[in-house]
């Protein structure tokens, strides 16, 4: 977890060394710390393998800029949903919960896949 | 029988008419020699600055002016008292077994050291003008400073343990000896015995950031350190403000011995310029005084600091709450640092805040400590600061999002400023 930075480093240059190598993003919903690679800024609330940060940190422009511009944490993509589907498939969650999740996931995909290329990737 | 002293002012012709005669040298010498052989010899036992001795000196001076062989006979008698106890000798150069030279024990008013192998006349006798006149007439002379300096050097080279080195130092200083001429061979008393000039020679001192206090005597002894301290008594041999020509006693000592009060910053090592041995020992054995030492002597140290910047950065220094860290990873205890720690709700021990003698420092004190920034020390929170803060928050029980937000908010502002600088 430890890293040393030279005086004068900015978070832009240090991003990959710090927030990606350690779990320093606080998830207040789970009261846990997560890695920046496991976060999205904006995304559907059914995500479990990614922490959606906007609901907790969006009230200040500084914080939004910090996560999205400085740490380059992007929004959920179709790929994010695909990964979530794979994650759920491989998990031991009950079938009822899985069914509800799948409904939300497929609805999300349908409403967000706008291009032929996107549909091709989904197939 | 002799006339009473009261007749000294009488008309001598009248006394002669009454039958008083002058004693001849032929009559005086047997009496003189008998006295010299006597255990209770007046010549050897009377105070050598007494009126009696002055009268004897007058007699001697008249003998040396007499005709025939009287002066020679007089010179052969053991009439010169030497500085060594109970040693008497005849005039110098008077034959087998005698002294070739005998010197007066002072150069002007400066006492010549009596342990450097020079035959010196008795001090009391030499201080009396009449007796000194007799000694001078017998051949006692003033020794040249050059001869004395050479004798001091020879004596110190042969056996320094039994010498009165203080008397040597005083003589050299008081006769305005050029310190650079004696520095190559001069010995000085230290707590580790007589030592020559060197880089690890220091003066005794009570000042907190002088070596004598940085590495006190018991620490020096327990760790068998090779640095030597000139005792305070040597510094007090002469008045502090006494000047001989342009130098004070302290100035002269510094130039003649190379001794100093505080450690040098650097030394020449095998791999280039290194931190001086004694400063490294301060870091190792008395680390709480290391930064204060740098600050106290920064006006001198700053000229060579760039040569050992990396080494200084890697020195381990004490931080608050008993921890130590590399200097380059520490923070000054400024209000910006301590207030931010308080704002984030983390323990001070989570951040490597320097444990300075001043404690928390204000703006004025910061100016005195800001030189440490050259070695990576920060006065304001930086990236590393927030990393450490997040690590502390990571392990904190009962963490709330507000604390995390405060950390991210501060990092965001730092990153914003940093980004702008990058874009310029």
Any B CB within 8 A of A17 CB: no
Test A70 with B387 for CB contact under 8 angstroms: no
Any B CB within 8 A of A37 CB: no
State residue A121's pLDDT score: 61
**pLDDT tier for residue A8 given thresholds of 50, 70 and 90:** very low
State residue B418's pLDDT score: 52
State residue B423's pLDDT score: 32
d(CA A14, CA A7): 11
Phi, psi angle pair for B26, to nearest 5°: -65, -30
Beta pairing partners, B323: none
Average pLDDT over residues B325-338: 96
Test B409 with A10 for CB contact under 8 angstroms: no
d(CA B190, CA B227): 10
**Mean pLDDT, rounded, of chain A:** 78
- Distance between alpha carbon A63 and the CA centroid of its chain, in Å? 16
- State how far residue B398 is from chain A, nearest Cα, in angstroms: 9
Test A7 with B387 for CB contact under 8 angstroms: no
Among candidate residues B311, B312, B385, the one with its CA nearest the CA of residue B353? B385
State residue B122's pLDDT score: 94
Any B CB within 8 A of A28 CB: yes
pLDDT digit string, tens, across residues B140-179: 999 999 999 999 999 999 976 789 999 999 999 999 999 9
Question: Over 50: is that where the pLDDT of B382 sits?
Answer: yes
Better-scored residue on pLDDT, B42 or B152 = B152
d(CA B73, CA B136): 17
Test A10 with B415 for CB contact under 8 angstroms: yes
Test B412 with A33 for CB contact under 8 angstroms: no
Question: Over 50: is that where the pLDDT of A3 sits?
Answer: no
- State how far residue B408 is from chain A, nearest Cα, in angstroms: 7
Test B419 with A4 for CB contact under 8 angstroms: no
pLDDT digit string, tens, across residues B238-274: 997 888 888 999 999 999 999 999 999 999 998 899 9
pLDDT digit string, tens, across residues A57-97: 999 898 999 899 888 899 998 888 888 888 888 776 565 66
**pLDDT tier for residue B93 given thresholds of 50, 70 and 90:** confident
Question: Over 50: is that where the pLDDT of B30 sits?
Answer: yes
State residue A85's pLDDT score: 84
Share of chain B above pLDDT 90, in %: 65
pLDDT digit string, tens, across residues B1-27: 666 667 667 677 777 777 777 778 888
pLDDT digit string, tens, across residues B126-138: 999 999 999 999 9
Better-scored residue on pLDDT, B325 or B383 = B325
Average pLDDT over residues B177-200: 93
Query: What b/e string do you get for A86-122 counting C-beta neighbours within 10 Å, with b at 16 or more?
Result: eebeeeeeeeeeeeebeeebeebbeeebeeeeeeeee
State residue B43's pLDDT score: 87
- Name the residue with tokens 């007090």: B236
Q: What is the CA radius of gyration of chain A?
A: 17
Question: Over 70: is that where the pLDDT of A11 sits?
Answer: no
Highest mean pLDDT among A100-104, A117-121, B306-310: B306-310
Chain B residues within 8 A of A70 when measuring between CB atoms: 412, 415, 419
- State how far residue A86 is from chain B, nearest Cα, in angstroms: 30
Test A31 with B399 for CB contact under 8 angstroms: yes
**Which of A1, A2, A10, A17 would best serve as a mutation to test chain B binding (most B beta carbons within 10 A)?**
A10
pTM score of the predicted model: 0.80
Give yes or no for a contact between B369 and B298, defined as CB atoms under 8 angstroms apart.
Answer: no
**Mean pLDDT, rounded, of chain B:** 90
**Which of B408, B414, B419 would best serve as a mutation to test chain A binding (most A beta carbons within 10 A)?**
B408
Burial (Cβ within 10 Å: 0-12, 13-18, ≥19) of residue A52: buried
Phi, psi angle pair for A48, to nearest 5°: -120, -20
- State how far residue B248 is from chain A, nearest Cα, in angstroms: 47
pLDDT digit string, tens, across residues B274-324: 999 999 999 999 999 999 999 999 999 999 999 999 999 999 999 998 889
Test B387 with A28 for CB contact under 8 angstroms: no
- Out of A3, A12, A28, closest to residue B422 by CB: A12
Better-scored residue on pLDDT, B98 or A59 = A59
């Amino acid at each position: 977890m430890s890293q040393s930075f030279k005086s004068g480093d900015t978070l832009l240059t240090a991003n990959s060394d710090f927030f990606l190598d350690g779990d320093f993003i606080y998830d207040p919903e789970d009261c846990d710390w997560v890695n920046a690679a496991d976060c999205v800024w904006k995304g559907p609330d059914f995500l479990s393998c990614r922490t959606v940060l906007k609901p907790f940190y969006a009230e200040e422009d500084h914080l939004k800029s910090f996560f999205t511009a400085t740490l380059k944490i992007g929004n959920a993509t179709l790929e994010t949903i695909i990964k979530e589907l794979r994650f759920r498939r491989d998990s031991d969650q009950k079938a009822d919960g899985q069914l509800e999740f799948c409904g939300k996931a497929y609805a999300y995909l349908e409403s967000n896949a706008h291009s032929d290329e996107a549909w091709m990737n989904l197939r | 029988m002799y006339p009473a002293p009261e007749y000294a002012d009488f008309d001598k012709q009248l006394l002669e008419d009454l039958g008083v005669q002058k004693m001849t040298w032929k009559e005086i010498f047997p009496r003189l020699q008998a006295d010299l052989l006597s255990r209770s010899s007046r010549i050897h036992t009377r105070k050598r600055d007494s009126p009696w001795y002055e009268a004897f000196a007058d007699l001697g001076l008249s003998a040396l002016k007499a005709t025939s062989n009287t002066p020679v006979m007089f010179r052969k008698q053991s009439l010169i008292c030497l500085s060594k106890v109970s040693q008497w000798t005849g005039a110098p150069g008077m034959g087998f077994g005698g002294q070739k030279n005998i010197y007066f024990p002072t150069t002007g008013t400066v006492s010549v050291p009596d342990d450097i192998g020079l035959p010196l006349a008795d001090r009391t006798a030499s201080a009396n003008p009449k007796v000194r006149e007799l000694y001078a007439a017998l051949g006692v002379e003033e020794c040249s400073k050059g001869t004395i300096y050479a004798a001091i050097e020879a004596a110190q080279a042969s056996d320094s343990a039994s010498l009165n080195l203080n008397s040597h130092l005083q003589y050299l200083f008081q006769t305005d000896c050029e310190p650079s001429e004696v520095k190559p061979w001069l010995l000085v008393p230290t707590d580790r015995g007589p030592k020559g000039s060197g880089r690890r020679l220091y003066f005794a001192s009570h000042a907190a950031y002088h070596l004598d206090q940085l590495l006190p005597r018991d620490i020096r002894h327990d760790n068998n350190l090779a640095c030597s301290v000139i005792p305070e008594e040597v510094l007090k041999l002469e008045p502090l403000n006494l000047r001989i020509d342009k130098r004070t006693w302290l100035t002269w000592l510094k130039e003649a011995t190379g001794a100093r009060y505080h450690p040098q910053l650097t030394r020449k090592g095998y791999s280039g310029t290194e931190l001086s041995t004694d400063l490294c020992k301060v870091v190792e054995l008395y680390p709480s005084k290391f930064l204060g030492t740098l600050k106290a002597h920064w006006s001198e140290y700053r000229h060579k600091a760039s040569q050992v910047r990396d080494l200084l950065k890697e020195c381990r220094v004490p931080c608050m709450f008993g921890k130590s860290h590399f200097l380059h990873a520490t923070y000054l205890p400024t209000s910006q640092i301590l207030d931010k720690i308080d704002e984030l709700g983390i323990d001070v021990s989570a951040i490597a805040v320097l444990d300075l003698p001043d404690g928390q420092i204000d703006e004025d004190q910061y100016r005195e400590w800001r030189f440490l920034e050259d070695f990576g020390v920060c006065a304001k929170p930086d990236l590393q600061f927030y990393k450490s803060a997040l690590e502390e928050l990571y392990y904190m029980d009962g963490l709330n999002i507000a604390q995390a937000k405060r950390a991210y908010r501060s990092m965001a502002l730092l990153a914003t400023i940093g980004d702008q600088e990058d874009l310029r």
